[in-house]
């Protein structure tokens, strides 16, 4: 039984180390999640800014096209003024000229304001694009580092589990089944008994069970948590036995 317990403890050490490595592997991507979320958010805002700028550019172009048409209409109105043959035609042409001039002036003022807004918008966009580019470069750099870290952790896990099959082979199948069941449920399957107390669930053992565990003639389970129990050997006795 002592050899079986030794193998079970060895197996548990392997599984515990592997579990910790796997836990670390799972946590690695999460470390970069906040930066990725920020990048996604900023990239989305950048897309909106570009679209707003494009819409403003389209509006400016449309207004300039209208101004061009208004200026052409102004030329026609001036021609009508020169060709006016009576006061009524002269007045109508004069009013049309005034309206066209006013319309052109108002639109040109709006276009001028849009030009100024576009310059500010382009500057902001360029600055935000630079920020996003820096953040993206940082994320890509960190991803590369994490890829190396994950590779190292995978190699560690592979090294730790390399001898697991050999250890399993030396354990009685029914005992191994008990171990795997408890390990899956509890996270630890083999624990020591100290002063009659299971160190897995910290519950006191029944006196008869504590005696059986201390004898070490068979591998007993805790009645509360089902973990496999053992009492560490006295170092002095172990030294004399060797």
Q: What was the pLDDT predicted at 139?
A: 93
Query: Tell me, what's the pLDDT at 173?
Result: 95
Pairing between β-strand 197-198 and β-strand 190-194 as defined by DSSP bridges: antiparallel
The pTM assigned to this predicted structure is: 0.62
Alpha helices in the chain (DSSP H): 2-83, 87-160, 164-169, 173-186, 207-215, 235-241
pLDDT value, residue 235: 52
Give pLDDT, residue 1: 78
Q: What is the pLDDT of residue 242?
A: 39
pLDDT digits (tens, 9 = 90+) for 119-148: 999 999 999 999 999 999 999 999 999 999
Location of each CATH 1.10.287.1490 domain in the chain? 19-162
pLDDT reported for residue 238: 46
Report the chain's C-alpha Rg in angstroms: 41
Burial 35-64 (b: 16+ CB within 10 A, else e): eeeebeebeeeeeebeeebeeeeeebeeee
The predicted pLDDT at position 112 comes to 95
Residue ranges, the chain, pLDDT below 50 = 236-242
**26-34 own/partner pairs: CB under 8 Å, 24+ apart:** 28/146, 28/149, 28/150, 28/153, 29/146, 31/146, 32/139, 32/142, 32/143, 32/146
Q: Top-level CATH class of 19-162?
A: mainly alpha
Closest CA to 61 of 124, 118, 106: 118
């Amino acid at each position: 039984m002592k050899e079986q317990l030794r193998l079970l403890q060895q197996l548990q050490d392997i599984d515990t180390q592997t579990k910790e490595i796997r836990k670390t592997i799972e946590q690695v991507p999460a470390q970069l999640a906040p930066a990725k979320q920020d990048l996604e958010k900023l990239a989305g805002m950048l897309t909106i800014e570009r679209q707003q700028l494009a819409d403003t550019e389209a509006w400016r172009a449309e207004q300039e096209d209208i101004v061009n048409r208004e200026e052409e209409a102004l030329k026609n109105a001036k021609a009508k003024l020169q060709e006016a043959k009576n006061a009524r035609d002269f007045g109508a042409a004069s009013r049309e000229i005034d309206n066209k001039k006013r319309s052109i002036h108002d639109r040109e003022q709006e276009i001028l304001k849009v030009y100024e807004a576009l310059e500010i918008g382009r500057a902001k966009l360029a600055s935000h694009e630079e920020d996003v580019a820096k953040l993206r470069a940082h994320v890509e750099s960190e991803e590369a580092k994490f890829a190396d870290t994950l590779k190292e952790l995978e190699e560690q896990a592979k090294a730790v589990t390399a001898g697991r099959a050999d250890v399993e082979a030396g354990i009685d199948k029914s005992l191994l089944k008990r171990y795997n069941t408890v390990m899956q449920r509890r996270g630890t399957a083999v624990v020591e008994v100290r002063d009659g107390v299971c160190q897995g669930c910290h519950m006191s053992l029944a006196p008869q069970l504590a005696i059986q565990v201390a004898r070490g003639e068979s591998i007993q389970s805790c009645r509360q948590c089902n973990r496999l129990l053992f009492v560490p050997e006295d170092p002095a006795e172990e030294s004399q036995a060797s």
